[in-house]
Structure 1
């Protein structure tokens, strides 16, 4: 029971840190798309991802997992999530009439479960 509570707490902290990083990601991407008319949503997504990665790494090291873990492994996890994010974004932009920011929001919110499992079981093990 104690182990389950510990895992639930870790998942909650992951969600909070990830939520903060996702908010940074979406705010940065939205600002870039808003300020730079004609900017590719993919370029905005790359810049926003890098900003959010720094927030995420710091938060997961100090709040979620409370250990250093491997920054390189976590970058691989984050980059894999980012690749999935971009695949989803490209797919939605190709086959739906969704506005760029709506598609970007959906693709960004779809990735966290996979990221948690990879971070928990590999990067911060």
Structure 2
């Protein structure tokens, strides 16, 4: 039972850091669209990813897992999540009328649970 409670706490911390990183990601993308109205959604998403990655790694290292993870593993994991995010973004832009920041919002919310499992058992194992 104690282990289950500990895992639930870690999942809650992961969610908290994830919410902050996601808000940063979406804010950077929104600012990119405001400053450059014709920016490619993929470029805005890349800019947002680069900033949010820093928040995410630091937060998970300090608060979620409370240990030094392997930065290169977390970066590879984040790149995998970013690739999945961009796949969803591309599908939305091609197959629907959703565009711009709304497509980025939808794509950004598709990856978190998978990222938790991979970060927990690989990057910060």
What TM-score, normalized to structure 2? 0.98
Residue 47 (structure 1) aligns with: 47
Residue 73 (structure 1) aligns with: 73
Q: Deviations over 1:93-115 (max 9, x none)?
A: 00000131111100001100110
CA distance in 1, matches of 2:59, 2:90: 29
Aligned length: 125
| Structure 1 position 37, deviation (Å) | 1.6
Q: Could you say what the CA RMSD is over the residues aligned between the two structures, in angstroms?
A: 0.5
Helix, strand or coil at the partner of 2:19: helix
- Mark the runs of 5 or more structure 2 residues left unpaired by the alignment: none
- Mark the runs of 5 or more structure 1 residues left unpaired by the alignment: none
CA distance in 1, matches of 2:122, 2:99: 35
Residue 13 (structure 1) aligns with: 13
| Structure 1 position 24, deviation (Å) | 0.2
Q: Deviations over 1:74-122 (max 9, x none)?
A: 0011110000000000000000001311111000011001100100010
Q: Deviations over 1:49-81 (max 9, x none)?
A: 010000000000000000011000000111100
Is the CA contact 2:17–2:60 (under 8 Å) kept in the aligned structure 1?
A: yes
Residue 121 (structure 1) aligns with: 121
| Structure 1 position 44, deviation (Å) | 0.6
What TM-score, normalized to structure 1? 0.98
CA distance in 2, matches of 1:23, 1:74: 19
